[in-house]
């Protein structure tokens, strides 16, 4: 608050508190790169990207362990459904099968 001095009719000087003028707030503009990144749709992952992500995960080893190294077609379809729900699709299902077989060999070699 600011203080202003005024003089009354009788000649006395008085102080009066007045509100300070509001400061102008300048809106911040986002950087052009941020606007471009936010407005561009994210590229969908490729089957290769999803396969790499799957290979780095523990999903295959866990699947093999949970099925004691033996599974049938229904379990395979269940795994593919799980992969779809977890965002791994599209993916090369033949390559997923190869990774499972590698994990199976490792499981039985322990």
CB count in 10 Å sphere of residue 99: 19
In this prediction the pTM is 0.63
Domain extent for 87: 47-108
- Tens of pLDDT, residue by residue over 21-77, are 666 666 666 666 655 556 667 899 999 999 999 999 999 999 999 999 999 999 999
pLDDT in tens, 50-62: 999 999 999 999 9
Given this model, what pLDDT does residue 42 score? 83
User: CA 1, CA 22: separation in Å to the nearest integer?
Assistant: 11
* 22, part of any domain: no
**Residue 101: inside a domain:** yes
The reply to whether 2 falls in a domain is no
In a domain, 41, yes or no: no
Domain count for the chain? 1
Q: Is residue 6 included in any domain, yes or no? A: no
**Residue 25 included in any domain:** no
Asked if the structure places residue 59 within a domain, the reply is yes
Q: According to the model, what pLDDT value does residue 41 have?
A: 77
Do the domain assignments include residue 15? no
């Amino acid at each position: 608050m600011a203080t202003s001095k005024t003089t009354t009719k009788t000649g006395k000087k008085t102080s009066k508190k007045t509100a300070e003028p509001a400061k102008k707030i300048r809106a911040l503009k986002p950087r052009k790169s941020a606007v471009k990144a936010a407005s561009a749709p994210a590229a969908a992952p490729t089957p290769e990207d999803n396969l790499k992500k799957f290979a780095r995960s523990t999903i295959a080893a866990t699947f093999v362990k949970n099925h004691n190294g033996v599974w049938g077609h229904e379990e395979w379809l269940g795994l593919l459904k799980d992969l779809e729900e977890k965002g791994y699709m599209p993916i090369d299902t033949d390559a997923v099968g190869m990774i499972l077989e590698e994990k199976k060999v490792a499981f039985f070699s322990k």
